[in-house]
Amino acid sequence: MDILSAIIQGIVQGLTEFLPVSSSGHLVLAQHILGVRENNLFFNVMLHTGTLLAVIAFYHKKILALIKAFFGIVKDILKGEFRLRKLSGDKNFTAMIIMGLLPLFLLFLPIAPGKMSIKDLAENLSDGSCIIIPGIFLLITSLLLSIGVKSYKMNAKNEIEKKSGKVFTKDKKSYISVCDALLIGFTQFLAAVFPGLSRSGSTLSVGLMRGINKKTALEYSFILGIPAVFAATLLELKEAIQSGAIYDIDMVPVVVGMLVSAIVGFMAIKLFKWLLNTDKMNIFIIYTFVVGILTVIVGIVEIINKVNIFTGEQL
């Protein structure tokens, strides 16, 4: 892999990790178009590490507050004063982050006795050889975004009450319930399995469907991804070292790609927050729908002809 290819993939990763268009799906498409096949998984994880640094930098104050809240929860447990239902503020947010991570353990479940795990399936789906799966799940991302946005607007209308001739609007909830956390966490699990299903877009959409306000839903979606990406990075690094594959990798393009994804990712978070607050999410609904349709069509043509139409390579 050359440096130019790494830069292109870093830009794709940085933009799509936080914009609700699926980084995994776009990375598969970029690698498919560029004909990149070697050591994809390790490189992909390092690109995710770059965007991990971006979200940590962007939310560093909130993250420090959550770390403090975590130790506060530990203290409450040791004192016998911990009550899950009575948690509020950062303690509630921290506890629900932990709850939301539980569905990710499903990745290690075997699909059948003695067969590959769900994690192995996810790796196979991300190898870039067939782009129909990412195309289908880009369409599903478009659908989820559409439902999430419409549900949020509909709930807002339903919360208007008339009293004494005046109109009052109830605020969206700023806390996360156990049910919210598990549903959002399970959505993140699905996004980890299927390239094309946007992690940020799908988890945000579920949060909006659950009546959570935009700020809290967005923060929860982004921060929930930090432990998941960090764990994936450590796991893949361990596997690469044990297999010896890491010693065959040119680390210069890997580092360049990671730095590019971090810088672009930081700017993408700012862009996403602005678009969400100004109700411009339809851009992503239309975009993922169009790209999904085109990807499925190209994928079908390639299967029929058994040739990658971008590189000319046999599938």
Domain extent listing, the chain: 3-305
Q: What does pTM read for this prediction?
A: 0.86
Task: Name the residue among 59, 60, 7, 20 with its Cα closest to residue 264.
Answer: 7
Counting every residue, how long is the chain?
Answer: 315
30-34, 101-105, 221-225: least confidently modelled range: 30-34
Cα–Cα dist 224/90, whole Å? 14
Cα–Cα dist 109/227, whole Å? 19
Higher pLDDT, 194 or 13: 194
Interval 225-258: pLDDT, tens? 999 888 877 877 777 677 776 677 778 888 999 9
pLDDT at 312: 87
The residues that bridge with 169 in the sheet, in sequence order, are 160
pLDDT at 168: 43
pLDDT category at 167 given cuts 50, 70, 90 is very low
pLDDT at 153: 81
Per-position DSSP letters for 201-230, written without gaps between them:
HHHHHHHHHTTB-HHHHHHHHHHHHHHHHH
pLDDT at 45: 75
pLDDT at 250: 79
pLDDT at 249: 73
Q: Which amino acid is at 237?
A: L
Higher pLDDT, 288 or 237: 288
Please check the confidence at residue 173 and state whether its pLDDT lies above 80: no
DSSP state of 163: E
pLDDT at 208: 93
Helix (H, G, I), strand (E, B) or coil at 108: helix
Residue 114 falls in which region: left (phi positive, over 0), alpha (psi -120 to 50) or beta: left
Mean of the per-residue pLDDT values of the chain: 87
Radius of gyration of the chain (CA): 21
Contact (CB, 8 A) for 42 and 20: no
Share of the chain above pLDDT 90, in %: 56
pLDDT category at 159 given cuts 50, 70, 90 is low
Please check the confidence at residue 18 and state whether its pLDDT lies above 90: no
pLDDT at 66: 96
Cα–Cα dist 191/188, whole Å? 5
pLDDT at 235: 79
Residues 6+ apart with CB under 8 A from 242: none
pLDDT at 146: 96
Mean pLDDT of 101-121: 87
pLDDT category at 126 given cuts 50, 70, 90 is confident
Mean pLDDT of 196-207: 95
84-93, 165-174, 286-295: least confidently modelled range: 165-174
pLDDT category at 298 given cuts 50, 70, 90 is very high
Residue 265's CB is within 10 A of a number of other CB atoms, namely 29
Please check the confidence at residue 202 and state whether its pLDDT lies above 90: yes
Please check the confidence at residue 112 and state whether its pLDDT lies above 50: yes
Mean pLDDT of 107-129: 82
pLDDT category at 164 given cuts 50, 70, 90 is very low
